[in-house]
Amino acid sequence: MDRIDRYILALLIPPFLAALAGAMLLLMLERMIRVVELVGEHNGSVSYVFDIMSSLIPHYLGLAIPAALFVACFVAFRRLANTSELDATASIGRGLGRLARPAFFFAALLTLISSLVHSNLQPHGRFEYRTLKFHLANSSITEALQSGNFAEFGDITFIVESGRPGDLGFGKVFVHQRGTNGSNRTITSQKATVIENQANGDIAIGLEEGQLLDESPDGQLALISFRNLDWPIDRKFLGSYKPRGWIESELTWPELLAAMETASSHLTADRIESELNARMARAFTCLLIPILAIPLAIAGRRKRSVSSIAIGVITLLVYVQSLKFIEETADLGTIPPALSIWSLYSALLCFSLFIFIRAWRGVGFEIIPYLPAFKLLARKSQVERPT
């Protein structure tokens, strides 16, 4: 790596870091608003906001890395074009392909990082996010009961006279449950404790020294005294808790490969194959970014770069949304997952190579000649321009 290569890398790294930080900030702030609303609905503590946002970092990092790389390549080579440094290096026999080598090296390094994010960090982050949401819903019961106030969850009503937040214990608890068939159940207890099963996420109320009154639909009453009674909270309210691996998006790449041999009814082979190939395509997209961004950056170097930026942004947006649509369609088994996903990847590769080769040969690439509507507007503006 000579001095020119190091110079180009120095041009790439600052805009990449700035774009990465900006993209992460915008994406995280938008999501934080919804997370704060979610935590507020369940009366959760502020720590849940930071924990949930931390679990979402790998997801948004996978989105921000390709976008930041595109901005870095565009800004760096746009500067080289505007300052005529491209012409100077071409005069000493160093063409565009040689100048782009540091960008390809940088993209390969980011591809390794992106592969790590998509293969390992994102699956664990998604599981952590789902687990935190589940415990947030469960903690709303604990927080409400600890407050010593009136609380209602589904068809169960709690009234707690006093709470001891340190050991999750309560004194003199009144519980009333309304049955779907007209029956009612009322419990009074001198002591109560929230019992949480960490293995499967179940929550129960441990009642001590109390009485249970059952009222049948026909009005008959039955009074029972008890010393200890564990009353589980209905899972319909808590939601179902599934271990990691129940959802294909929470599996790492090696786990997805192993799961393809043991596909089940809830985790079909099509869904596993679609998830694996889609994540690999997203990780390897970084390899295509310099091929796409560099020719757009030097196209029409002495003109406005609005059209070049527009075509780059539109191309990436269409690619991302198309990949998402193909993945969702492939999950249903209507199209072959691998063939469909990598066909889209190949289409982006061919388009990027097309404009890169034209720029390499000095032909250049402009979006306006390929869009008749824009071409007509450009001609009209030239005719109306005063001489």
How far, in Å, CA of 369 to CA of 373, rounded?
9
Q: Where are the domains of the chain?
A: 3-136+243-381, 155-233
pLDDT value at residue 336: 92
How far, in Å, CA of 123 to CA of 248, rounded?
9
Between CA 271 and CA 41, with CA 238 as vertex, the angle to 5 degrees is: 100
Q: Which pLDDT tens digit goes with each residue over 191-200? A: 877 776 655 5
**Stretch 350-359: mean pLDDT, rounded?**
90
- Identify any residues that bridge with 221 across adjacent strands, giving them in sequence order: 215
3-class secondary-structure state, position 317 = helix
Among 45-54, 135-144, 296-305, the range of highest mean pLDDT = 45-54
Of the pLDDT bands very low, low, confident and very high (cuts 50, 70, 90), residue 164 is low
pTM of the full structure: 0.74
134 vs 387 pLDDT, higher one: 134
Of the pLDDT bands very low, low, confident and very high (cuts 50, 70, 90), residue 96 is confident
Asked if residue 363 has pLDDT above 80, the reply is no
Of the pLDDT bands very low, low, confident and very high (cuts 50, 70, 90), residue 155 is confident
| Whether 241 contacts 115, CB under 8 Å | no
Q: Which pLDDT tens digit goes with each residue over 26-44? A: 999 989 998 888 888 776 7
| CA distances to 73, 272, 312, 363 from 309, in Å | 12, 35, 5, 19
pLDDT value at residue 156: 75
Q: Which pLDDT tens digit goes with each residue over 77-90? A: 988 888 887 778 77
The full length of the chain comes to 387
Kind and range of the H or E run holding 191: strand 184-196
How far, in Å, CA of 347 to CA of 295, rounded?
17
pLDDT value at residue 139: 63
